[in-house]
Copies of this chain bind each other. A is one copy, B any other.
């Protein structure tokens, strides 16, 4: 029997002007997962702590992702999975993705890495399909690649890892209110003005350039979402106040993590990221809303092996 224990990081999708294409990987928050080879074929989920989630592999995002991987390789025996959830479901920082990406990463390690990272993303996307109804790569891509990832295309799947500036930190606050995925989808409009779309892709091009050249000023000037944030932010109590306070504390920019309710800010240096966490906390303290707040360097590696 072989066994691997891994750290499965939280992730931020829909990074500002990079709606639906740009994600990033966090470092200080994530689940743990243990995967063991078994003589019995197939996938068994033996234990889940931290959340009340189904042990039936066909009804569990990690189970579905693992089953998808096994469809693509003939092997003897199977795998047993323990999931220790620390990321809250519905927080908008990739809870289901951490499980889906984690399990395929772990099995790939145990099998001697037969699959590429892009193939692992495609398997993990099936777990996301169970969780949200859409086989998207917004969170599984940064979890598996680390750093900033661009999902350029789905047909064929094309994931591009983007350079991460060395002093870039994320601060994320999770106000514990429920934003229904259906609501966050229904506020979107099917058509957008061409003028706004041009501003959006100009900003995204600026952001990508700023990431490669480590130009924090350019990153800051580019971190604007003209299209989705104005529609979705109304679903998050205190969003405008939090965002303005983050910028005032020196954050480079701020936006909605995934489809919310978490709100992220990016900062140059840990000190600013810490100040940002302070004002995020104060605001939700004032509102009397429970929250979690995380400060994290951008995790350029993605999922990490704890021991093997």
Contact = CB atoms under 8 A, between A and B. Distances in A.
Count copies of this chain in the complex. Answer: 2
A28 B208 CA distance: 30
Interface stretch (A50-58, A150-158, A172-180): A150-158
Nearest to A202: B21
Given A20-B198, A209-B150, A191 B188 contact: no
Interface residues of A, number: 40
A175 to B, nearest CB: 27
A206 B158 contact: yes
Contacts of A206: 150, 152-153, 158, 160
Contacts of A203: 152-153
A141 interface: no
Contact of A204 (B189, B194, B195, B201): B201
Contacts of A202: 20-21, 150-153
B191 A194 contact: yes
A21 B194 CA distance: 13
Interface in A185-205: 188-195, 197-205
Nearest to A163: B212
A201 B194 CA distance: 12
Interface of A: 17-22, 150-153, 158, 160, 162-163, 188-195, 197-206, 208-209, 212-213, 218, 221-222, 227
Given A153-B199, A160-B209, 5 more contacts: A151-B202, A191-B192, A192-B194, A192-B197, A194-B227
